[in-house]
Structure 1
């Protein structure tokens, strides 16, 4: 089946996970793994990471480095002109910065929602207690977390999962403690853990998209719910 290069939001009616095609690479991928671009009322191309803006959209699934090269060589302008059917558009010079900021915001917003729902744990002592008792399904550390503190929590998690001697460890997030602290409204957020597998899956999509855009393809391919594999969950339409 031919994959469209652009779409109207909400145009999917099938129950399967929709795919989109990157306007730069020509490769098709799950919609949730790509970044949608939309045109503002004044014709400016802007990131629409939640894919909610009305009208036609264009999708990209390349790294920031590839995007910036395409922008410098005029390839992005040509690709978007085709995707938006010749509509007048202006591409901001800092489009890559805007996309990365939007992806970071999408991830931190999701973390905030899980915190409000009671699924996100903060604080080394609290995380260690839950980890040792097998109540942690996902563990992560700020980019600037101390090696010693991260190692101790990783060990506590392996104990709780009866996975001693394996390589099970928390993820190194692409966010530092200052960013996490501001986003979550708490002081000195260095380590994070989730107690719900569904929450871990909800974190996966925004985290993977950010990692891919940053060029960390190997990290983005990791299983984000880095505990034992959960049972399959029903598909959603969000």
Structure 2
């Protein structure tokens, strides 16, 4: 099992990052296409028409791709990248993770709140534990990921996590097993890559600010 509880897939297709030149599973890359106006367009769902251009899901890789004009080189034509591309992709990924979590909640595959999450963990119903990166360290330590740090997502803030559950804030949430949960984990891993080592990771407990648990 990979970071955040994502199951390894032997047949996971690989693509080459235009920055590193290395091939890696598509799950760890951001796909881009070139629009009709020669603008670089993020394609998180991988469904837009056109030849895909792939960049590792890190801010450093995206910024380097823009700075070194690597999109034009990969496209073999002059193209333009949107200003603040890495921030744009991060915002899109946050929205994607929140939307998927909301879908999981409506499908009965996700819960939030300390007591509900604790109950799922005790019963073995939780596959992945989600904890806001700005929740209190004391409150977060009371709950442990079901399969160690590999089954923890902590790349969202309490406000972002709350959006998925119709709350102003949420600190603790849990995912049950299932295809939808796997999609949450996969997108959260890409978001964690973009947010780097600033205390926002998938598969790693990080101390946060001392705020009230939700």
TM-score (norm 1): 0.71
Distance 1:70 1:105, change over 3 A: same
Q: Is 1:23 aligned to 2:13, yes or no?
A: no
TM-score (norm 2): 0.78
Q: Is 1:60 aligned to 2:71, yes or no?
A: no
1:206 aligned partner: 187
2:29 aligned partner: 34
Higher relative contact order (CA 8 A, sep 6+): 2
Distance 1:137 1:114, change over 3 A: same
1:228 aligned partner: none
CA contact under 8 A between 1:65 and 1:215: conserved in structure 2?
no
Larger Rg: 1
Give a deviation string over 1:164-206, Cα, whole Å, max 9, x none.
Answer: xxx6697352211112222432242111012225444232211
Match of 2:116 among 101, 106, 126: 126
1:173 aligned partner: 154
The gaps in structure 1 that reach 5 residues or longer are: 1-14, 162-166, 224-238
Q: How many residues align?
A: 195
RMSD: 2.9
Deviation at 1:62, TM superposition (A): 5.2
CA contact under 8 A between 1:120 and 1:192: conserved in structure 2?
yes
Query: 2 CA distance for matches of 1:220 and 1:151?
Result: 16
